[in-house]
C-alpha cells in the first residue's frame, strides 16, 4: 500500500505538471538518451536514458505524442530532473487488464501472476487467468464501459492496461489516480508493427531483453513465410467476414488483416478500401465485388458451430457467393479457438494458418489450428 501511495502521489504530480504545461499531447520535451530502433512500429518510441527508460506513444489519430511513460526500476532511486510523463516503477507487480489479448502475452512472459484484475471477464480465455478468477485471486472489475470502481480500489494496481479510442476518455478511471497504460497496439498498420508492442510490454515487467529476443524470432518466421507465399503464382480471390445487421464490415486493405491477407498470397477483393480498420459496406456492394470469390473466411463467437444450413438461416443472401455454392468456406469460432489471444503478438502463427488455407499443399506438415472448413 505504501508503494501505491508513493506512486500515486508522484503520478498525480507529473500529470498536473503535464497539463500545466498546456496539454498532454503537445509539450513533451526532447529526450537525451540512446534510441531503441523500432523495426515496424510507427506508434512507439523507446529511449534508454540515464536511470530510466522513456516510452512515447504517438496518437494514432493525430500524430502527436499521446503519452510518455518513464520506466524506473523499483530498486533504484528516482533520477533527478525526470521529464514530464507517467512514472511506472518496474517490474509492475499488480495490473488490471481490459483485453484478453494482453493476458496471453503476459502468460508467455511468465508474469501472468501480476494480473490481479480484469474487465470484460467473459472475453478472457487464458486458462491461468480464468482459474485464478474462479479462485478469487483475480478480481472481476466489471465492464470496460462501466468499470467497478470499488473493485479497482481493491486491486490498487500499479497500472491499468486500457484500449484508447479516438476522442474517447476513460471516465471514472481518470480520476482514481492509477496510471493508465494506453494499449494502442491494435491501431498499428501491419501485423509485425502490432506485435512489436511486446517490446514495450516486456519492459514494463523488467523483461526488455527477453521481449526483444522473442520479437526477433517472430519477425524472422513471419518474413520467411511471407516470402514463400508471395512467390506463389496463383492468388485465390478472397472474401471475408459476415453481414452484421445492415452492414458488412470488412478489413480495409491498409489494415493489419488486409496486409496479412496479401502477405499470405491472397487476392483480397477489398484491398482498395482505405483506412486502418474495418469498413462498413452494403450487402449489394459486397456481392458485386465478391460474388466470384474463391475462398471465404469469417470469424464468429457462438456456443454452437456454424454450418451452411445455419448460414442460410441467418441470411439467405449468403447463398449467392461462389464459395458458398462450392463449399469453400472456412470459419473460426473464437469461443473455442483462441485466435485473437494467441496470434495478436504472434502473427506468424496466423500467417501460417492463412497460407495453409489459400495454398493447400504448400505447408505439407501443417494442420489448421484456428479455422476449419465448414460442413
Strand, helix or coil at 253? Answer: coil
Q: What are the residues whose beta carbons fall under 8 Å from the beta carbon of 191, sequence distance 6 or more?
A: 222, 256, 259, 260, 263, 347, 350, 351
- Rounded-to-integer distance, Cα 306 and Cα 65, Å: 44
Whole-number percent of the chain with pLDDT over 70 = 93
Examine the pLDDT at 204 and tell me if it is beyond 50.
yes
Partnered with residue 332 across adjacent β-strands are 299
CB atoms within 10 A of CB 33: 14
The domain that holds 312 is classified in CATH as 3.40.50.1980
Q: In angstroms, how far is the first alpha carbon of the chain from the final one?
A: 55
Examine the pLDDT at 6 and tell me if it is beyond 50.
no
pLDDT category, 276, cuts 50, 70, 90? Answer: confident
Establish if 220 belongs to a structural domain: no
Examine the pLDDT at 10 and tell me if it is beyond 50.
no
Most confident segment among 58-62, 85-89, 172-176: 85-89
- Rounded-to-integer distance, Cα 241 and Cα 321, Å: 13
Instruction: Give 5-12's long-range contacts (Cβ < 8 A, gap of 24+).
Output: 7/87, 7/89, 7/158, 7/179, 8/177, 8/178, 10/78, 10/87, 11/86, 11/87, 11/177, 11/178, 11/179, 12/177
The number of folded domains in the chain is 1
Nearest to 107 by CA among 19, 201, 186: 201
Instruction: Tell me which residue range forms the domain holding 288.
Output: 232-373
- Rounded-to-integer distance, Cα 171 and Cα 157, Å: 17
pLDDT category, 338, cuts 50, 70, 90? Answer: very high
Establish if 245 belongs to a structural domain: yes
CA 283 to chain centre: 28
Establish if 150 belongs to a structural domain: no
Q: What is the DSSP letter of 86?
A: E
What would the pLDDT profile of 277-317 be if each residue is shown by its tens digit? Answer: 899 999 999 999 999 999 999 999 999 999 999 999 999 99
Establish if 171 belongs to a structural domain: no
Establish if 264 belongs to a structural domain: yes
Establish if 309 belongs to a structural domain: yes
Establish if 347 belongs to a structural domain: yes
Establish if 254 belongs to a structural domain: yes
pLDDT at residue 348 in the model: 98
CA 45 to chain centre: 17
Amino acid at each position: 500500500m505504501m508503494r501505491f501511495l508513493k506512486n500515486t502521489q508522484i503520478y498525480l504530480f507529473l500529470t498536473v505538471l503535464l497539463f500545466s504545461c498546456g496539454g498532454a499531447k503537445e509539450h513533451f520535451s526532447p529526450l537525451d538518451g540512446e534510441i531503441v530502433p523500432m523495426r515496424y512500429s510507427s506508434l512507439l518510441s523507446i529511449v534508454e536514458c540515464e536511470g530510466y527508460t522513456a516510452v512515447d506513444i504517438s496518437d494514432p489519430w493525430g500524430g502527436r505524442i499521446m503519452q510518455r511513460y518513464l520506466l524506473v526500476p523499483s530498486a533504484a532511486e528516482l533520477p533527478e530532473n525526470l521529464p514530464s510523463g507517467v512514472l511506472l516503477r518496474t517490474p509492475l507487480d499488480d495490473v488490471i487488464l481490459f483485453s484478453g489479448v494482453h493476458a496471453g502475452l503476459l502468460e508467455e512472459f511468465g508474469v501472468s501472476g501480476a494480473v490481479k484484475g480484469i474487465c470484460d471477464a467473459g472475453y478472457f480465455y487464458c486458462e491461468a487467468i480464468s482459474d485464478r478468477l474462479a479462485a478469487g485471486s483475480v478480481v472481476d472489475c466489471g465492464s470496460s464501459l462501466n468499470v467497478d470502481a470499488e473493485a479497482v480500489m481493491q486491486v490498487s494496481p500499479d497500472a491499468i492496461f486500457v484500449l484508447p479510442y479516438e476522442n474517447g476518455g476513460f471516465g471514472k478511471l481518470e480520476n482514481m489516480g492509477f496510471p493508465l497504460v494506453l494499449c494502442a497496439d491494435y491501431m498499428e498498420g501491419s501485423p509485425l508493427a502490432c506485435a512489436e508492442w511486446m517490446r514495450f510490454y516486456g519492459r514494463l515487467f523488467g523483461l526488455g531483453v527477453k521481449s526483444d529476443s522473442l520479437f526477433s524470432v517472430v519477425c524472422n518466421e513471419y518474413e520467411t513465410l511471407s516470402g514463400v507465399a508471395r512467390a506463389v503464382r496463383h492468388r485465390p480471390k478472397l472474401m471475408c467476414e459476415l453481414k452484421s445487421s445492415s452492414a458488412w464490415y470488412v478489413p480495409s486493405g491498409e489494415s493489419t488483416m488486409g496486409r496479412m491477407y496479401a502477405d499470405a498470397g491472397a487476392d483480397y477483393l477489398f484491398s482498395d478500401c482505405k483506412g486502418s480498420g474495418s469498413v462498413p459496406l452494403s450487402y449489394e456492394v459486397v456481392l458485386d465485388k465478391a460474388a466470384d470469390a474463391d475462398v471465404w473466411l469469417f470469424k464468429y463467437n457462438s456456443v454452437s458451430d456454424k454450418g451452411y444450413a445455419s448460414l442460410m438461416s441467418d441470411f439467405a443472401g449468403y447463398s449467392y457467393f461462389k464459395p458458398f455454392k462450392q463449399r469453400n468456406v472456412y470459419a473460426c469460432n473464437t469461443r473455442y479457438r483462441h485466435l485473437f489471444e494467441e496470434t495478436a503478438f504472434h502473427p506468424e502463427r496466423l500467417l501460417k494458418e492463412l497460407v495453409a488455407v489459400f495454398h493447400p499443399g504448400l505447408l505439407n506438415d501443417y494442420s489448421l489450428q484456428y479455422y476449419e472448413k465448414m460442413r
